[in-house]
Amino acid sequence: MSAATRNNSPSASSAPDPQANETLIREGRARARALIRDWNLKHAYINGEWRAADSRETLDVIDPAKGDVIGTVPFMRTSEARQAIDAAHAAFPAWSRMLARERADILRRWRDLLETHQEDLAALITLEQGKPLDQALREVVGAIAYAEWYGEEAKRAYGQTMPATQRDRRVVVQKHPVGVVAAITPWNFPLTMVVRKCAPALAAGCTVIVKPAEDTPLSALAAAKLAEQAGFPPGVFNVVTGLPHPIGEALTGDQRVRMLSFTGSTSVGKRLMEQCAPTMKKLSLELGGNAPFIVMDDADLDAAVAGAMISKFRNSGQTCVCANRIFVQDGVYDAFVEKFVAASKAQTIGNGFVPGTELGPLINRQAVAKVERLVADAQKRGANLIYGAALPEEGFFTRPLVMTDVPDDADCFDEELFAPVAPIYRFGTEDDVITLANRVRTGLSSYIYSRDIGRIQRLADRLEVGVVGINDGTTSHEGAPFGGVKESGQGREGGHWGLEEYLEPKYLNYALKSGI
């Protein structure tokens, strides 16, 4: 965790040929940098134009694996956000009246361009976000899946005709796009989250303004470049880069923005909700998670360990659905811990451009400081710490860590770790684990491992969450409704539910008269 502990244990990621690894890192970084240069990703995208900030100020983009500057983007503020709103508002009438089939054709071209450039986009994600290249490629594949789904779903915004209560009446329900949509996206999946929000909005006939996370704006700009090539008209798809406060206030305060879609922390989501209240915007909020990963005593332990490794350590634990609290029943606790610790220690940590790397860096120094605080608190309260591989000498890394015998009053029980740190808790009965699992304010994702289908169903019914993974450490699917309950937000992304978020029903009551 600290500099003093970086190299006090053998590293599972020690390479037989460090010089070859350095060559791979240089080549990967060069590929991503070439994309930044060739696609002009140093400018934001407003009303079909690539442009600088009015002030000409810029923000640095940092490679978290090395800590150096890899590019700059415009430091935009309120005025540029309002210009993007002007453009999206002006473009909305023509875009919303376009035939659904025509919008679907453009979305399909966007999807095809994402697929054509998937290798370059993956390299860009690894450079600016830090995740291993194979995980970055899977992220691009996920973005392609969402673009494909909503290209098809654009033609399925069905209305209804309902039986009337009188003979000379007809009741018709139409679906209309909400209007201008502001999409504020996170840094942990910088491409997929842009597409997951924008593809259904665009399919519905909305125009969009994307505010990407300041740590990872380049992937959003790359998505805009391909959207431009796909043929989205000026003003339909806009990307404004900068810090959250001035841009967010402009987007939430303008009544022409009719909907806000946000993925991020619960605290920020609450603040945005307050800011949207005066103009009564429609909201789609995917906020913090604190996923329970439940291993019952009849579980297949090898499968449970494999699932926990995927859920906990994917993207270095920086996902809202990762296993934040691993609950293991008394009868298999020791056996699970033994297997899980062995698997955790075998992971490789390092630069994502090196093949075989499983754990990349955290996003920034603040993320490292947060996990150090939470681990120190758990240790002070009696948790046993078991470290994995040693750290690279540069970048924003933290060591993979398993914490056993963690008390349920530790801060990490209630607060997301967002790091490759796995706290394991012991429990006795079904009632015990349900009480522990639900004893938090959030309720996004969860996982159950058991061979007893009745037990699985009982637990799934009682868990206060929006997503349940059953004997599987992954839950992603573009056709499923993703979202949470309690303080994990409101609304759903994915499937026809995701399209409905961007549509408003309009009820037409016909009085039929002679001659009509």
Which residues are known catalytic residues? 286
Q: Which two tokens mark 402? A: 């398993």
Q: 């996920």: which residue's tokens? A: 142
User: Who contacts 286 (Cβ-Cβ below 8 Å, separation ≥6)?
Assistant: 262, 263, 320, 444, 482, 483, 484, 488, 489, 491, 493
- Beta-bridged to residue 448, according to DSSP, are 294, 470
How is residue 192 written in tokens? 């997929």
Determine the 3-state secondary structure of 108 from DSSP. Answer: helix
CA torsion angle 330 336 340 341 (round to 10): 70
Distance CA 13, CA 59 (A): 33
Strand, helix or coil for residue 366: helix
Q: Where are the alpha helices (DSSP H) in 54-132?
A: 78-97, 100-116, 118-129
Question: In this structure, are residues 151 and 202 in contact, taking their beta carbons and an 8 Å threshold?
Answer: no
- The span from the CA of 163 to the CA of 127, in Å, is 57
- E strand or H helix at 201, and its extent? helix 192-204
Burial class (CB within 10 angstroms; exposed 0-12, middle 13-18, buried 19+) of 233: middle
Q: Where are the beta strands (DSSP E) in 237-342?
A: 237-239, 257-263, 282-286, 291-295, 323-329
Dihedral Cα 312, 314, 316, 320, nearest 10 deg: -70
